[in-house]
Amino acid sequence: MLLARKGRPKKLANTVLKESNQQTKSTTTKSRLSWLWAEYSVIIAFLIIFIAAAMISPRFLDINNQLNILMQVSIIGIVALGMTVVMLSGGIDLSVGSVLAFVGVMTVLALNASGSILVAILTALFVGSFAGFLNGLMVAKGKIASFIATLGMMAAARSIALYIADGGSVSGEVSGFTAIANSDIGIVDYPIIIFLIMTMLVYLLMHKTRFGRYVYALGSNEKAALLSAIRVDRVKLGVYSLAGLLVSVAAIIETSRLNSISSSSSGMAYELDAIAAVIIGGTRMTGGRGKVIGTLFGVLILGILNNMMNLMNVSPHLQGFVKGLIIIVAVVFQKRE
């Protein structure tokens, strides 16, 4: 009886140890799976959508269709890169579409007045960067919420573009300007190459430089960033100026494609597409968390969805509904992480 009583505590201890080990293993497995999902969910979603699209339509895998998708997303992709930086800092930029139209109008006017493609490009880069700088000035120095500041810029930029172009389109008179968007290297068009180069540069800026670390710190906790001696105002000015510069690059491509720009329709709802791509890519609305590569895959997911709907003859009026639904689903998943 004594031996039996002595053996019971040992058995109970072994049972408890086994159960605790099993719980630890299950907890570790769950944490690993949650980490994998948090890090690579956008890539997993991209692969699922890509495979589904290939199964739905055999035309989807055609190389010309794949290049067409990349061509279609190149402009929005460049805009989305700037939006990524802004949202990582905890802000938002609603003016990107209107600024693109305004930059396009000014680019064509500079092109026609000077006859120089270089002057037109430099004008575009300056105008877009300056518009972004004004956004940053209102947010950083004026202490205006980014939503309100960029909403005002959205209305102002579109209004000025409409006034200059008399509510219509302006066309370039230098034929060589169209080579920017209509030339290629092999089978790959220049806009695709420019988009990939811009992605690489912004990735290096955000993940390999002090400025990038400051942007993440600002988005995570602005007060803590201030206490860490980070010049928050300067970082905000840099963030919005960079976003404006990237909008300028997108405006140059869009204007070059047809050698003209519409003051009323160009850039319309681009802010929605850019925000959708950034959120799908995993960047939080509150800032401080997200990746440039995630935005790349977010843009590609939108491009594939648009291509799928076109191949399936879905009404273009429903495509906005699909994008809005995707944004809501992406935000819901972010809150569950």
Burial class of residue 141 in the structure, from the number of CB atoms within 10 Å of its CB (0-12 exposed, 13-18 middle, 19+ buried): exposed
Q: Please give the Cα distance from 229 to 211 (Å, whole number).
A: 13
In this structure, what DSSP letter does residue 283 have?
-
Burial class of residue 312 in the structure, from the number of CB atoms within 10 Å of its CB (0-12 exposed, 13-18 middle, 19+ buried): exposed
Q: Please give the Cα distance from 220 to 256 (Å, whole number).
A: 39
Task: Write the CA distances from 211 to 156, 206, 232, 284, integer angstroms.
Answer: 29, 7, 11, 19
Q: Please give the Cα distance from 224 to 151 (Å, whole number).
A: 28
Instruction: Measure the CA dihedral 80/83/85/86, to 10°.
Output: 180
The reported pLDDT for the residue numbered 42 is: 84
Share of the chain residues as helix, strand and coil, in percent rounded to the nearest 5 = 80, 5, 15
List the pLDDT tens digit at each of the 337 positions of the chain.
444 455 555 555 556 445 555 555 555 665 666 656 566 788 888 898 899 889 988 888 899 999 999 999 999 999 999 999 999 999 999 999 999 999 999 999 999 999 999 999 999 999 999 999 999 999 999 999 999 999 999 999 999 999 999 989 999 888 889 999 998 898 899 999 999 999 999 999 999 999 999 999 999 998 998 888 889 999 999 999 999 999 999 999 999 998 999 998 998 989 989 998 999 898 888 888 889 999 999 999 999 988 888 888 877 777 778 777 877 777 776 655 5
Q: Please give the Cα distance from 260 to 172 (Å, whole number).
A: 6
Phi-psi region at 288: left, alpha or beta (left = phi > 0; alpha = psi -120 to 50):
left
**Token pair for 137:** 């000035």
The reported pLDDT for the residue numbered 2 is: 46
Q: What is the pTM of this model?
A: 0.87
CA angle 288, 319, 296 (to 5 degrees): 35
Cβ–Cβ < 8 Å for 303, 323: no
What is the DSSP pairing of strand 260-262 with strand 169-171?
antiparallel
Q: Please give the Cα distance from 173 to 204 (Å, whole number).
A: 37
Query: What are the boundaries of each domain within the chain?
Result: 73-267
